[in-house]
Amino acid sequence: MLLSALEINDTGLTLLSAGAEPLVSPGVAVLDNRELLLGEAAARQFRLRPANANSQFWQKLNLDPLTSTTRDIRTSADLVYSHLKSIWNPGPGEHEVILVVPGVYNSEQLALLLGITNECGIPVRGVVDTAVAASRYSSAGRRLLHLDVHLHRMVISELEEGSLIRRQRSDSIAGVGLTQLADLWCNRIADAFVRNTRFDPMHQAESEQLLYDSLPGWLERLDQDGSALLEVESRGRKYQLSFKRQQLLEASRDMFRQVAEQVSARASDTGVLVQLTHRARALPGLEDALAELDNCQVVTLEAHGGALGAIQHADQIRCDADNLRYVTSLPWNPRDISEAVSARAPKTPPTPARQQPLATHIIVQGVAYCPAPSLGISTAGDTITVHHGDTPGPQIRTTDSGLVLSEGHPWKVNGKPAEPDQALRAGDQVSPGGGEQVLLAISLDQ
């Protein structure tokens, strides 16, 4: 018998089978009369065809009619059926599947989901709550919570410890989901591109799609390094932008404050332990907001923890296909909290490196230039002049020491007043004339 676990979360349904890489498929669809796209294929078209895009069918999971339909797809349940059919491709042999579901599904939705899996031919032999299956760590007398992010909400679950780990209640934090956060962050990044390069990636559907496709990688780099050089290509031209993690945090601060308030409201007098899923941990700023709470410890669960836990506890979850029950408690043998990797543990500092090399080029309006004509700058010999409208402004000179700022102008380098004849080094952010325009110095030397 081949055992699999299917974890239901619309940021990415996860099908985990023994000895195989997890299959992850986001819960999004693009549908019209000609075709139906699901999962990653739909995500790559989502901004290109917004009128036909749908990302709420897993959350709604009902029989209400859709606004955009095809001959075969008229309700959210029809999309759920199609999505499950697209990822369930069993090989030879007998199979059994355990469903791992968020605690906010009601009984009608669970019944509908089981009916759909039966129609898909998925041999479900058990249903378990995500928070119960994924939990790993003892709270040591504090309130124990499980926090996960979905496309349009967060789900916060309260857990009770004893000989069993039991889910007491689960609640949605509506409007604080990956979709809303991505919109906030992409709009903030787009605004920065407009201010610094005059290029608006939201103006064309193709560049908007590229912005959203690039966001996960950018989030990882910004969370790890604190800043990153972001790049978007449009119509054969590349635009670059130096962006800081703090700018993301400012955009999403209010949303994460809502989450922190919900956690605080559930804390006991002795504090709270929050178990973050790997999906929630990937959101820059969430753990920062939780860290501001008194007596709150945060740990990160392993990736696909719900599916892994379901497989680990399969003997306690399995039941007859005709008499499926929803498991909301399991035997509890937690790991010691000292074994946990705290989400708040400081990142390993970078190894001290040699001083940054002298700058050889300057990025102006998102394009790297060695002194050469460009919109907004002009050259004379080895000098770049930065213009403000039709008025020549401060200059950057090319010398044997690299790029050097002209004297007599209120330059700022990395937010601080420049020294006289200051040489630029790779990574320096330069504000000419003390204005808002920011140029980035880089080195292209090998």
Task: Check pLDDT > 90 for residue 9.
Answer: yes
Length of the chain counted residue by residue: 446
Higher-scoring residue by pLDDT: 18, 69 = 69
Task: Check pLDDT > 80 for residue 364.
Answer: no
What are the phi and psi torsion angles at 253 (to 5°)?
Answer: -60, -45
Q: Which two tokens stand for residue 301?
A: 């669960």
Task: Check pLDDT > 50 for residue 166.
Answer: yes
Q: Which two tokens stand for residue 183?
A: 């919109």
Q: Report the distance separating Cα 375 and Cα 388, nearest Å.
A: 11
Domain with CATH 3.30.420.40 in the chain: 2-130
pLDDT in the model for residue 81: 97
Domain with CATH 2.60.200 in the chain: 361-442
What is the amino acid identity at position 191? Answer: D
Helix (H, G, I), strand (E, B) or coil at 436: coil
Task: Check pLDDT > 80 for residue 93.
Answer: yes
Instruction: Determine which helix (DSSP H) or strand (DSSP E) holds 197, and give its type and residue range.
Output: helix 178-197
pLDDT in the model for residue 438: 60
Highest mean pLDDT among 65-69, 172-176, 382-386: 172-176
8 Å CB contact between 295 and 267? yes
Nearest one of 238, 279, 195, 211 to 48, comparing CA atoms? 211
Average pLDDT over residues 86-111: 94
Task: Check pLDDT > 50 for residue 349.
Answer: no
In this predicted model, what pLDDT tens digit does every residue of 297-342 receive, in sequence order? Answer: 999 999 999 999 999 999 999 998 888 999 999 999 998 776 665 4
Average pLDDT over residues 353-367: 56
Q: Report the distance separating Cα 68 and Cα 252, nearest Å.
A: 31
Which of the residue ranges 13-27, 140-154, 222-236, 333-347 would you say has the lowest mean pLDDT?
333-347
Strand order in the sheet with 36-38: 36-38, 29-31, 53-54
Strand partners, 174: 153
In the structure, what pLDDT confidence band is assigned to residue 61 with cuts at 50, 70 and 90? very high
Strand partners, 155: 148, 172
Q: Report the distance separating Cα 307 and Cα 326, nearest Å.
A: 15
pLDDT in the model for residue 335: 85
Task: Check pLDDT > 50 for residue 257.
Answer: yes
pLDDT in the model for residue 306: 96
In the predicted model, what is the mean pLDDT of the chain?
A: 85
What are the phi and psi torsion angles at 240 (to 5°)?
Answer: -120, 150
Q: Which two tokens stand for residue 15?
A: 């099908």
8 Å CB contact between 218 and 231? no
Strand order in the sheet with 164-174: 296-300, 272-276, 143-149, 153-161, 164-174, 329-331
Q: Please state whether the predicted TM-score (pTM) of the whole model is above 0.85.
A: no
Instruction: Tell me the CATH number for domain 2-130.
Output: 3.30.420.40
Nearest one of 55, 61, 59 to 114, comparing CA atoms? 61
| Range list of H helices, 69-175 | 76-87, 107-120, 130-134
pLDDT in the model for residue 433: 58
Higher-scoring residue by pLDDT: 185, 441 = 185
- Residue 198 zone, left/alpha/beta (φ > 0; ψ -120 to 50; rest): left
Report the percentage of the chain scoring pLDDT > 90. Answer: 65
What is the amino acid identity at position 365? Answer: Q
In this predicted model, what pLDDT tens digit does every residue of 407-427 receive, in sequence order? Answer: 666 777 766 777 766 777 766
In this predicted model, what pLDDT tens digit does every residue of 236-249 receive, in sequence order? Answer: 889 999 999 999 99
8 Å CB contact between 442 and 368? yes
Task: Check pLDDT > 90 for residue 289.
Answer: yes
pLDDT in the model for residue 20: 76
8 Å CB contact between 178 and 28? no
What is the DSSP secondary structure assignment for residue 32, as one 8-state letter?
Answer: -
- Was domain 361-442 assigned CATH 1.10.10? no
Which of the residue ranges 61-70, 74-83, 195-204, 361-370 would you say has the lowest mean pLDDT?
361-370
